[in-house]
Amino acid sequence: MDILVVDHAQVRKLMTMEECIDVMKNALKSLTVGKAGMPLRSVMPLSGNTGFLGMMPAYMEDLNIMGLKVISVFPANHESGYDSHQGAVMIFETVHGKPLAMVDAGSITAIRTAAVSAVATDLLAREDAGDLAILGSGTQAVSHLEALLVVRKIRQVRVWSLPMDHARQFARTQSKRKGINIEPFETVHEAVQGADIICTLTPSPEPILLGSSIMSGAHINAIGACTSVARELDTDAVVKSRLFVDRRESTISEAGDFMIPKKEGAIDDAHILGEIGELLTGRVEGRKTEHEITLFKSLGLAVEDLAAAYYIFQKAKEKKAGMLTPLGGMRDDNA
């Protein structure tokens, strides 16, 4: 029995950002209406906190598939030439449990994370929002710029990153690629002044975005912190925002941006107003006024990875892309 292997370069050719945004909408709706499910992810940290291995299973009933993303996360790879996220998404069908495909997980993570932020931004940011602040200058900064240009008319981009040279390089490179003015700033406070869309995309374990720096009416996508002990936003920023998440259970159990203010007694579970899937299905209300601050806390979900990988698998079959390789799976009656 053969499985289809799809590498990093092919993923980018087989799924555009616009296509991924639509795939993410459908996946999050499926999760909300009970047509998809997943347990909490399992994380195995390495000694010395150099990195960790994440294992994220899920199933999608409407697609008759199940799968697993296995991915290593090594934040220091920004200096090594390797991607910080490396691994694979495996897809199985749910009739006989046959493996169908193995798709590069790093490229899927880069695209689908930004696509979900674009979905959240389209639902929660003001219609006229177009002043974007990007905190961070790595893979997700590039992907988020691409994604947000799909859902809003971005007039100006501000970027902050450490070291400052990275911010300057991002500004030079992406200004040319996207044909938009991108200006680097030396402090987060300067970068977010006047910004009505803010994306935090850093590996920082301590808050970089303070509530006192956020202007009225802004929308924030908080992406970088993905463990219970790390956060990019201070308590004031979370308290003053109307908070929406990709999944309640994951946020309550895994998100330091939420868990730390909760431990301090500043908020409780009711501070989570809804999931993005609930916004998409009309079960909860999003932005109510032009002046309120909205916050989307993203952890990344296995159903997002599985949905993206399945879309890529189908496109690869259609275009005869990828590489078929034998794996087994048939019963050996002579064994």
Closest listed residue to residue 20, CA positions, set 154, 201, 153, 146: 146
Band of residue 83 on the pLDDT scale cut at 50, 70, 90: confident
Residue 333: the pLDDT is 55
Rounded to an integer, what is the distance from CA 184 to the centroid of its chain?
Answer: 23
Distance in angstroms between the alpha carbons of the first and the last residue of the chain: 17
| Residue 80 reports pLDDT greater than 80 | no
pLDDT in tens, 172-191: 999 999 999 999 999 999 99
Domains of the chain: 2-108+302-326 (3.30.1780.10), 127-297 (3.40.50.720)
Asked if the model's pLDDT at residue 334 lies above 60, the reply is: no
Return the percentage of the chain with pLDDT > 70, whole number. 97
Token pair of 130, please? Answer: 């177009």
Report pLDDT digits (tens) over 20-74: 999 999 999 999 999 999 999 999 989 888 888 999 999 999 999 999 999 998 8
Q: How far, rounded to the nearest angstrom, does the alpha carbon of residue 334 sit from its chain's CA centroid?
A: 47
Give the residue from 205, 224, 214 showing the smallest Cα distance to 143: 224
What is the structure's pLDDT at 158?
98
Q: And the tokens for 286?
A: 């999003």
Closest to 66 (Cα-Cα) out of 34, 88, 98: 98
- Is 325 strand, coil or helix? strand
**Strands (E) located in the chain:** 2-6, 36-37, 42-45, 52-60, 65-73, 85-93, 99-104, 131-135, 156-160, 182-184, 197-200, 219-222, 241-245, 272-275, 293-297, 323-326
- pLDDT confidence tier of residue 329, bands split at 50, 70 and 90: low
* d(C-alpha 314, C-alpha 212), whole Å: 47
DSSP string, 113-177: HHHHHHHHHHHHS-TT--EEEEE--SHHHHHHHHHHHHHS---EEEEE-SSHHHHHHHHHHHHHH
The residue among 64 and 326 whose pLDDT is bigger is: 64
The answer on pLDDT for 300 being more than 80 is yes
Q: Decide if pLDDT at 119 tops 80.
A: yes
For residue range 222-265, list pLDDT tens digits in order: 999 988 999 999 999 999 999 999 999 999 999 999 999 999 99
Do the Cβ atoms of 40 and 301 come closer than 8 Å? no
Pairing of strands 323-326, 2-6: antiparallel
What pLDDT score was predicted for residue 330? Answer: 63
pLDDT digits (tens, 9 = 90+) for 126-180: 999 999 999 999 999 999 999 999 999 999 999 999 999 999 999 999 999 999 9
